[in-house]
């Protein structure tokens, strides 16, 4: 059997970071994933809850905000709970095992400054393999 989910979308909410009673980090956000247009050309969007644990939860909470583009690799989990109205409910969520940041935050600078790369290393053209 296989339970693997891979999603690419934008955060519809800021990550919410919490800690369990034993100090384990848990974060949660909603991922907006666009659907392919239907036969009439109408697009739709799915809003998928994503749960993160431990260091991944802390990293995502520290660096992600609503609107950021990410790839989430994880497993689909269902959980049953009792709603406020007393009815039993089932919720599906993705438990992330890996999150890749696919864009930079709007306030980010260039990824590096060319002046900070270090000094030039001299080499002999005879050392080149081509």
Residue 127 within any structural domain of the chain: no
Domain that holds residue 55: 5-119
- Which pLDDT score is estimated for 118? 52
Residue 126 within any structural domain of the chain: no
pLDDT (mean) for 34-48: 89
How many domains, the chain?
1
Q: How many other CB atoms are found less than 10 A from the CB of residue 29?
A: 26
- Which pLDDT score is estimated for 4? 94
pLDDT tens-digit profile of 104-129?
877 765 555 555 555 555 556 665 55
pLDDT tens-digit profile of 28-37?
999 999 998 8
pTM for the whole thing?
Answer: 0.74
CATH of residue 46's domain is 2.40.50.140
CA distance 75 to 4: 5
CB 76 within 8 A of CB 3: yes
* Confidence tier at 52 by pLDDT (50, 70, 90): very high
């Amino acid at each position: 059997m296989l339970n693997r989910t891979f999603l690419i979308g934008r955060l519809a909410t800021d990550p919410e970071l919490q800690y369990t009673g034993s100090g384990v980090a848990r974060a949660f956000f909603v991922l907006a994933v666009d659907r392919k247009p239907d036969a009439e050309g109408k697009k739709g969007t799915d809003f998928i809850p994503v749960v993160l644990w431990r260091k991944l939860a802390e990293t995502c909470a520290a660096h992600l905000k609503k609107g950021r583009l990410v790839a989430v690799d994880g497993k689909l989990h269902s959980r049953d709970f009792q709603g406020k109205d007393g009815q039993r409910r089932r919720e599906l969520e993705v438990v992330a095992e890996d999150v890749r940041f696919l864009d930079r935050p709007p306030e980010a600078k260039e990824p590096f400054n060319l002046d900070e790369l270090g000094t030039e290393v001299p080499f002999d053209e005879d050392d080149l393999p081509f």
